[in-house]
Chains A and B, each alone.
Chain A
Amino acid sequence: MQLQDLTESLHKHPFLSNMDDELLKTLTSCASNVVLPEGARLFGEGEDAKTFYLIRSGRVALEIQAGERGQIRIQTVGPGEVLGWSWLISPYRWHFDAYAVEQVHAFAIDATCLRTKCETDHHFGYEMLRRFSEVLERRLEATRLQLLDVYGSAATGGENY
């Protein structure tokens, strides 16, 4: 894919909607297109967070090794969403394992490249942080809702029923 085509494709991703053209060009210089087959392992817990992904199609599952409970699938990330934010926060290591549940088309963003751009261009860095903060806020809200276990019997109450 030509750089111009890649920029245009990136612009269509919801995470980058309405991003200034110049900033988008900066991001494009760190981006590439990837296709991951079903079952592909994208990254593993504890590994260096070298890349993050903007999912275009398909679905990625995040899993965690929970001792005796085994491998638990805690979340899926699908089209239009961002996969990974550990690249942004020191010590830049993944907290989960990630697998493609089905074939995935995504933009892969080189994290080292992007961190350097953020350091050298603070306007760009602020824009990335602003967009990631929104993602983090939504994920935190969703996690809290999951923790409530709203569909469980205890949450339902209804001893009178």
Chain B
Amino acid sequence: MIETTLENKTEIKSSMVPALATIRRAIWETDDTFTLLIDPPADGNAFAFKPGQFNMVYAFGVGESAISISSDPAKPNMLAHTIHRVGTVTSTLSKLKRGDMIGLRGPFGAGWPVEEAVGKDVCITAGGIGLAPLRPVIYSLVRQREKFGRIIILYGARSPLDLLYRVELEQWSKLPNTEVIVTVDRGDSSWKGHIGVVTNLFSYIKMDSRSTLVMVCGPEVMMKYTVEELQRRGLSQEQIYISMERNMKCGIGLCGHCQFGPKFICKDGPVFRLPEVHHLLDKKEI
């Protein structure tokens, strides 16, 4: 937890005060998932972010939710949050339209290791809305394409209608030395792609187990099986990063809501190198 010394009291106070931001546009990605394009507050630089970081998004009078930033970090003049409508706050956010205001606090947390991936192959493995926090990584990799080896994007969703960013997936698949493989848990005869869990997709790629860095984001159980599959294929825990999720409130490690063993997801994570948290994944008491 943060020690509340006199020196950091001002910083804490500013981290706890939402800044006003304006909705530029809302895009429905699926039946229950939408992306808010947001004009950041006047001091846009304050919202410059690293891939994998999140903001606390405040629906006035209702509450705040921790939402990953899904836009391009090189374009801080427009933030995007892709949001799954599951509860009161996100339902309220889903009704916002151009010109409406929200509160933003952030960006918070540790991001994905894009710099560490330089010179390596990168495997992005996402499940469901887990693709949203990884999209800024993909933008970063694509922007500096020559710095990285192969890019492999494996993505699993519930059904073809639940796939996020379909146009971009198509675009990324056409990039040199880049593979995009998508699977769904269930489909009908009109779906010509893969059907099965995302871990099956590793059967279809040849991955260099020594030089690949893997970033995984999705439901915890999906990440657990993915990690098992990766280790079965010879990757060490040091090559794997995962993004954890817990009930985040303050965003700066003060309140303790998101405690995960000795870690605070909001401050120490949400992105962790696997050895930091692997021993906690099977703990029912956490």
Contact = CB atoms under 8 A, between A and B. Distances in A.
| Interface bracket on B | 35 or more
A76 B221 contact: no
Nearest to A158: B86
A159 interface: yes
A153 B32 contact: yes
B192 interface: yes
B203 interface: yes
A75 interface: yes
Contact of B89 (A78, A142, A150, A161): A161
Contacts of B199: 142, 145
Interface in B25-62: 32
A141 B247 CA distance: 29
Nearest to B130: A151
B84, B185, B189, B204 — most chain A CB neighbours (10 Å): B185
Contact of B196 (A146, A151, A152): A146
Interface stretch (A25-33, A44-52, A66-74, A104-112): A66-74
A59 interface: yes
A121 interface: no
A151 B220 CA distance: 10
Nearest to B198: A145
B218 interface: yes
Given A74-B195, A157-B86, A150 B189 contact: no
B219 A71 contact: no
A104 B275 CA distance: 41
A59 B128 contact: no
B162, B192, B193, B196 — most chain A CB neighbours (10 Å): B196
A156 B86 contact: yes
A114 interface: no
Contacts of B247: 160
Contacts of A83: none
Contacts of A157: 86
Given A76-B196, A142-B196, A142-B199, A71 B86 contact: no
Given A59-B194, A156-B219, A146 B204 contact: no
Interface of B: 32, 63, 65, 84, 86-90, 127-129, 156-158, 162, 183, 185-189, 191-197, 199-200, 203-204, 218-219, 221-222, 225, 247
13 contacts: A72-B188, A73-B186, A76-B193, A76-B194, A78-B194, A145-B199, A146-B196, A150-B218, A151-B156, A151-B218, A156-B84, A160-B63, A161-B90
Given A145-B221, A161-B87, 17 more contacts: A61-B195, A73-B191, A75-B196, A76-B195, A81-B203, A146-B185, A150-B219, A150-B221, A151-B156, A153-B84, A156-B84, A156-B129, A158-B86, A158-B90, A160-B247, A161-B86, A161-B88
